[in-house]
């Protein structure tokens, strides 16, 4: 993967990079990896929303261990979805608001792991990435991304790069994001039901 990893700081809004979904639904259990450096609310929301029995949740952060990301690279886990939750400082890292917490996620470390051969496997089959990064220095909550982010996502060069990776960039409000998730869940639930797909 050659793309540069750069998260966006949206107060209480997530940026989701949605991959194109294969037309043939798979009965294999998928892996949702979570990097929880602050609140686990987002992880639990996904756990409640995704079909039970079809997803395995794996927390990559090991409490009290500074090299938890490197350790995760050696586990053999392959993530289909990645959910990152933490406060975001606007440029360098995701961090916790809990004083006693020592875990954090440096942006450059995430970029290294994602875009080099130093961590083969962990993110090699990612289809969706969710970045929940609250900008805690901004007292005004936003209900939508900034105009600059919106323009970037609509740029032809950005969209072509995502398309080449089998991905689609989507920006919008929290309400639009929720509607998209509900529609996708209903659509693929019907596909699985119609095809009588069962987990063995």
Q: Would the pLDDT of 11 be above 90?
A: no
Whether 171 is in a domain gets the answer yes
Instruction: Give pLDDT tens digits for 101-133.
Output: 677 888 888 888 888 788 888 998 888 888 887
User: Could you tell me the pTM of the whole model?
Assistant: 0.53
Phi and psi torsions of 157, nearest 5°? -65, -40
CA distance 131 to 60: 15
pLDDT (tens digit per residue) in 166-194: 777 766 666 777 788 888 889 888 888 88
Classify residue 140: in a domain, yes or no.
yes
CA distance 65 to 75: 15
Between the two ends of the chain, the Cα-to-Cα distance in Å is 33
**Does 137 fall in a domain?**
yes
What is the span of the domain harbouring residue 99? 14-194
- What tokens does 41 get? 């609310």
pLDDT at 12: 33
What's the CATH code of the domain at 142? 3.40.50
- Is residue 5 assigned to a domain? no
Identify which of 146, 151, 184, 153 has the alpha carbon closest to the alpha carbon of residue 167: 153
pLDDT tens figures, 13-52 = 333 333 333 333 445 889 999 998 888 888 998 999 888 8
Residue 147 in any domain: the answer is yes
Report if residue 6 sits inside a domain. Answer: no
Residues facing residue 55 across a β-bridge: 30
Q: Confirm whether 91 is domain-assigned.
A: yes
The count of structural domains within the chain is: 1
């Amino acid at each position: 993967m050659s793309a540069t990893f750069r998260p966006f700081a949206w107060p209480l809004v997530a940026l989701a990079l949605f991959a194109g979904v294969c037309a043939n639904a798979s009965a294999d259990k998928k892996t949702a990896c979570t990097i929880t450096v602050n609140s686990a609310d987002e992880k639990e929301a996904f756990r409640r929303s995704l079909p039970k029995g079809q997803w395995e949740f794996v927390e990559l952060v090991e409490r009290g261990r500074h090299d938890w990301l490197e350790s995760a690279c050696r586990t053999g886990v392959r993530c289909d979805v990645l959910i990152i939750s933490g406060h975001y400082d606007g440029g360098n890292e995701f961090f916790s608001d809990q004083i006693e917490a020592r875990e954090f996620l440096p942006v450059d470390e995430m970029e290294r792991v994602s875009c080099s051969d130093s961590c083969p496997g962990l993110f090699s089959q990612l289809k969706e990435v969710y970045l929940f990064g609250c900008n805690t220095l901004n007292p005004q909550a936003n209900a939508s991304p900034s105009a600059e982010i919106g323009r970037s996502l609509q740029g032809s060069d950005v969209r072509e790069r995502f398309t080449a990776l089998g991905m689609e960039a989507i920006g919008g409000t929290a309400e639009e994001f929720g509607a998209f998730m509900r529609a996708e869940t209903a659509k693929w639930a019907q596909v699985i039901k119609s095809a009588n797909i069962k987990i063995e």
